[in-house]
Amino acid sequence: MTNLQTKSSATHRPVRRRGAAIAVLAALALTAGACSRSSSQVESGTSGDGGGSTTAVTGAAGAGDFGNLKDVCGPGDAKGATAQGVTDTEIRLGTISDPGFTGRPGLNQELFDATKVFTEWCNAAGGINGRTVKVDELDAKLFEYKQRITEACQNDFALVGGGGVFDETGQDERLKCLLPDIPGYQVSPKARGAELATAPLPTALDQTPIAVFQYLEKKFPKSTQKVGFITGNIAATIVVDKQNQEGVKSLGWKIPYQSQYNSAGESSWTPFAQALQSKGIKGLVYTGEPENMAKLLQAIADINYKLDWAVVGANHLDANFIKVGGQAIQNVFLYSAVVPFFQTKENPATQQYQDLFAKYLPKGKSQALLGVNSFSAWLLFAKAAKECGSDLTRKCLYEKLSTTSSWNGGGLHAETDPSSGQGSKCGIVVEATPDGFKVPSDFKLTDGLFRCADDSVLTLKGDYGKGATLASVGKSLSDLK
């Protein structure tokens, strides 16, 4: 029986809306700028001067090639007004994000930035079969996701490369209007398991990656019977926390300490540090925002306590985490299916992604994991749309997407199976240090930059929610035209 921390500073608090948003950021990369843009329509029909950068695009054999993908975009003779948002000359699509949220201006701006870079590059190469890609930037401002879905239902052919913190609020509306979604990320169980959605980097409700725990079990074998879990006190992060708990229990680990922190942040993290010390916790699994984890690590260091290790989400692959945590960041590990940005020189696709930002949006958020997710979603859409040719309908698009069983975003990330909705069996362990990030020298790679193994992903037995279905809104795939 685990001991759930119940002190007032950690649990059983009402969730404030702003705080909930901040805590959900952690779930984006687990499940995953200062200026915000308007939700006005952005036409990306020109290449743009991008501030005058002349950086060459590495590994691009052709104008419409990306990484190991050939002719993703290019000229063609596709014709016909085949569906809503599709004409002889253009394809109108929507991308959702939350940069207009006043509580955190620029929230997930990287989704819009990666979208702009893709469309500028794609249209400069000739579009998709000659059709120009036009994007509606749909700013949900955190709490207006449903409204943006309603707008997209009226105007757009599909949603591509986006995501919203409160994405559960618009899934029924999206399915009612039969709007396909190729998301950059998904948060809620209702979205993660939703029909008529194909993610390039799926986050299944019935699976969780355990490779980082397998690595730590070998590196710190004496720590596994004294593991603590801390997460924000909102539904999305609690689901991820519970999935991780089932993951470590499958390895025979013991969890003598669990706690939840106020998602708005804590006035002091010392009580958490003292609780970890009193329980003799050796390893910590944290689900939350990087800055809060940095402060917790500082509190642990301030009482002269030392953990053997800590595990955080891939969202901690963030320079601000190092900046805030400083010397308190010791033996902190994360797991990612995306090639980290510090490995740019080792991976041509990551280099090309950076080069395209330098050319088309040099001041954009080029080193944010969700941006890579978004770009991969756009590549996946473009490949499927190209294969449809002049017959670009939602039915054709979804058929192409739902039969894509092998995908790596041109080399941006580990191989995934979008058709199954299951997570990748490949990934990389990254260690955070006071000096930055690195791949541990004793982490054994099996497939290029990744370790791939069938046992790196655990099939879960717990109930972590259900996805939205077409049947629940009186629709079926046969209604797709």
Rounded CA separation 459/448 (Å): 25
Rounded CA separation 257/278 (Å): 10
Rounded CA separation 285/228 (Å): 6
Say which DSSP state 66 is in: B
CB burial class (10 A; 0-12, 13-18, 19+) of residue 145? Answer: buried
| Ramachandran angles phi, psi of 395, nearest 5° | -65, -50
Q: Could you give the angle at the alpha carbon of 361 between the alpha carbons of 356 and 366, nearest 5°?
A: 70
Tokens 């253009």 identify what position? 90
Confirm if 432 and 316 have CB atoms less than 8 A apart: yes
Distance of CA 13 to the CA centre of its chain: 28
Beta bridge partners of 4: 258
Rounded CA separation 146/160 (Å): 16
Beta bridge partners of 134: 43, 92
Long-range contacts of 450-456 (CB under 8 A, 24+ apart): 450/337, 450/414, 450/426, 451/211, 451/426, 451/427, 452/414, 452/415, 452/425, 452/426, 453/211, 453/425, 454/425, 455/210, 455/214, 456/209, 456/210, 456/211, 456/214, 456/425, 456/426, 456/427
Q: In this structure, how many other beta carbons lie within 10 angstroms of the beta carbon of residue 180?
A: 23
Q: What is the pLDDT of residue 86?
A: 98
Spell out the domains of the chain, with CATH numbers in brackets. Answer: 31-201+343-412 (3.40.50.2300), 207-336+422-459 (3.40.50.2300)
* Structure-token pair, residue 372: 């890579």
Q: What is the pLDDT of residue 58?
A: 40
Q: What is the pLDDT of residue 44?
A: 36
Q: What is the pLDDT of residue 27?
A: 53
Q: Computed from CA positions of residues 17, 18, 23, 25, in that sequence, does the dihedral angle turn out positive or negative?
A: positive
14 Cβ neighbours under 8 A, 6+ residues apart: none
SS3 at position 390: coil
SS3 at position 401: helix
Q: Is 149 left (phi over 0), alpha (psi -120 to 50) or beta?
A: alpha
Rounded CA separation 430/343 (Å): 11
Predicted TM-score (pTM) of this structure:
0.86
Confirm if 130 and 78 have CB atoms less than 8 A apart: yes
Q: Which helix (H) or strand (E) holds 457?
A: strand 457-459
Rounded CA separation 314/264 (Å): 20
- Per-residue pLDDT of the chain in tens (481 residues, 90 and over written 9): 333 333 333 333 334 445 555 555 555 555 553 333 333 333 333 333 333 332 334 434 489 999 999 999 999 999 999 999 999 999 999 999 999 999 889 989 999 999 999 999 999 999 999 999 999 999 999 999 999 999 999 999 999 999 998 999 999 999 999 999 999 999 899 999 999 999 999 988 999 999 999 999 999 999 999 999 999 988 888 999 999 999 999 999 999 999 999 877 799 999 999 999 999 999 999 998 888 999 999 999 999 999 999 999 988 988 889 999 999 999 999 999 999 999 999 999 999 999 999 999 999 999 888 999 999 999 999 999 999 999 999 999 999 999 999 999 999 999 999 999 888 999 999 999 999 999 999 999 999 999 999 999 999 999 999 999 999 999 999 999 9
Tokens 């743009």 identify what position? 48
CB burial class (10 A; 0-12, 13-18, 19+) of residue 44? Answer: buried
